[in-house]
Each structure stands twice: as structure tokens, then as C-alpha cells.
Amino acid sequence: MITQQTNSRSTRYTLAVTAIGVLLLGVYTFFALAARDEIYYLCGNFKAGVSHSSVLRQLETVKLSAYRVENSEQGERVIHSSVLHRNLLRCEITFDQDRKVRWAIYQ
């Protein structure tokens, strides 16, 4: 009798942990896909000739991703990525000396 109750509790515990795990995976997947779409579609807006201020204004609207500005000898560059993808998916936006987009690459 005691063995049956222990097995029943163990089974319920296993099912509960599995259900919570599946739920958490589903929530993560939803937000990860939304972050990917946010990066992809915003990157498509940045064509050659778009102003620096326009790029930053659009990037200020992001909810599930972030951006950082880097200065180098080649000029300024903005990296738009998300920690939900461990920053592996990103949009690199490079500017010329006139602070206009030279190119934007989604990787």
C-alpha cells in the first residue's frame, strides 16, 4: 500500500515537472521568435543612405533586443542583437563619414 502511494506521488511529481518544463520552453520559444523577428524586420529598414538619427530612433522602439554603438577607424557601427539568441543573431549597421548608412547586414 505504501509503495503504491509513493509511486503515485512520484509519477505526479514527474508529470508536474515535465509540464512546467514544456511550458517554460514554449514561453522561451515565443519570445525568442519575437526577438528574431524584431531584429530581422528592423534590419530590413536600414538601406544605404538612411540617416544615423533615423536608425537610432527606430532602434529605440525595440522591446526584446538591444543595440550598442561602436566607433572604430573605419567609422561608426551599430550592432543590434538579443541575449535571447546569445547575440548570435544580429544586424550590423555601418555608417560612412556623413553619418548615413553604408550597409546593414543581418547575420
Closest CA to 89 of 29, 31, 26, 32: 32
Is residue 34 classed exposed, middle or buried when 0-12, 13-18 and 19+ CB atoms within 10 A define those classes? middle
pLDDT tens for the chain, residues 1 to 107 = 455 566 788 899 999 999 999 999 999 999 999 999 999 999 999 999 999 999 999 999 999 999 999 998 888 999 999 999 888 999 999 999 999 999 999 99
Q: What is the pLDDT of residue 73?
A: 83
